[in-house]
Amino acid sequence: MAKIILILCLFFTNFYSCFAKNNLQTNTTFSSTKGNAFGQETRRQIINNSSELPISNLSSIGEITQFSYAKSSYKNGSKAYSLNSLEFFHRYRFLTTKYANFTIHNSYKFHGIYNENKYLSLMPKQNDYELRMLIAHNMTDRLVNNILQSEKPYFARLEIAYRYRFNNPFDEIRQRFYLGIKLNQKFSFLLQHDLSWAVTAHETSTHNSPRQMQNFQFSKNFNNVIMPSLIYKLNRDNAVQIAYFRRLGGNDLQYDSSGFSLGIMNSF
């Protein structure tokens, strides 16, 4: 694990140094969460990093990386360190109107490195592909710069996605909504709301496939999460974020129920 972390640190250092001149934007958070996985109490500490780099006026590339430490009551106490996932994405803005702009997002997530049996809420290791549509209002730049540098009083972005999960009987339909409000020159409020449904990827005698839309049904696996946060701008290029995470509903037992996070946003 130490070698893997060192390799990733060197990769991100080179990534930042090579492309900083093109205005790399990053958001790094540390979270502490708790929940129950299949009846077992769990607690996690999570480090999540997302970066986005423009490669033209209309497109960008980026990555999302997540590490975690988990402690579970499973088998009288189980602890696990993990690289949960490494995801790369490409975005292309194909339409801009007076009221909104539209962006297509393609991403590929490589499975993480962890022991699936040590912590019940870690998913079986697998790769995912996601196709996402982003519809943004009052946003003239990517999320971090729009929070740090925009003078507009508010912005909103809706994301709708379908995630294909290799070697898994369930795919996912996802929805994410952002609402940002500028309170004054230093403080901003950001609301993030996530919905996701696990859907059957293949039709059987008891489950319907999304390819058969006349019979399409959401599965029982469902997730509904809200995360309000307060952002304090240190200067034009840096800010800190304090957030509260709460799972409002659903019956998918592989998600944390609540937690707090502290993050930093940078524009290089």
The full set of domain ranges for the chain reads 2-267
Share of the chain above pLDDT 70, in %: 78
pTM above 0.75, yes or no: yes
User: From CA 112, how far away is CA 86, in angstroms rounded?
Assistant: 7
- Tell me what pLDDT residue 170 has: 78
Three-state DSSP class for residue 134: strand
Region 185-208 average pLDDT: 79
Mean residue pLDDT across the chain: 84
The four Cα atoms 21, 242, 93, 22 give a dihedral, to 10 degrees, of 0
Contact 52, 142 (CB under 8 A): yes
- Tell me what pLDDT residue 153 has: 96
- Tell me what pLDDT residue 208 has: 47
- Which segments of the chain does DSSP mark as H helices, in order? 2-19, 143-149
Rg of the chain on CA atoms, in Å: 19
pLDDT at residue 37 tops 90: no
pLDDT in tens, 176-186: 999 999 999 99
| CATH number listed for the domain at residues 2-267 | 2.40.160.40
Contacts of 207 (CB under 8 A, 6+ apart): 200, 219
- Tell me what pLDDT residue 198 has: 82
Beta-strand pair 222-235/59-72: unpaired
Q: What is the DSSP letter of 33?
A: E
User: From CA 237, how far away is CA 251, in angstroms rounded?
Assistant: 40
Give me 181's structure tokens: 């409000």
pLDDT at residue 80 tops 70: yes
Q: For the chain, how many residues are written?
A: 268
Alpha carbon separation from 153 to 97, 115, 177, 220 (Å, rounded)? 19, 46, 17, 39
